[in-house]
Amino acid sequence: MIIDIENKLKVKDVNPTAMRLLVLEFLTRQNAAISLNDLERGMAPSDRITLYRTLKTFEEKGLVHSIEDGTGATKYALCEEDCDGKNHHDLHVHFYCNTCKETFCLPNTKIPDISLPINFFRQEMNLIIKGICDQCNPSIPLQ
């Protein structure tokens, strides 16, 4: 698995330092987007500044995308393979669960194409749906 993670970094032109390998491996094990605080707790006793810089490098290189879900804490999730530092091609909907407070990427639910007026230029788009996830919904039987 470490070889796969190292290759992912190299493909994105990111120097595979020990910390970057550990952070990317941690991110691949997540089922939901995570905040810097979540990452710091999960990787204790790591340096917060190093973790923040690692996330920012990953975002700049197209390894992760950031999500503003209205909670006040930026969340991070892995990008699709074809993202790069200049263009994130994973314009998908995100779902915030009001019960468990997790934010999920819904990659199969794309943000619709929105036409803008002349001379307006889109720099980023974010669509958050808030509700109750499948794990918290009492009407869905757990398996």
pLDDT tens sequence across 87-103: 666 678 999 999 999 99
**pLDDT over 90 (residue 126):** no
pLDDT tens for 41-67 read: 999 898 999 999 999 999 999 999 999
Mean pLDDT of the chain: 89
Comparing C-alpha atoms, which of 130, 136, 128, 102 is closest to residue 33? 102
How high is the pLDDT of residue 143? Answer: 54
pLDDT in tens, 12-46: 999 999 999 999 999 999 999 999 999 999 998 98
In the chain, helix, strand, coil percent, each to 5?
30, 20, 50
Q: What is the pTM of this model?
A: 0.84
Cα–Cα dist 83/61, whole Å: 8
**Higher per-residue pLDDT: 83 or 74:** 74
What is the spatial distance between Cα 20 and Cα 28, in angstroms, rounded to a whole number? Answer: 12
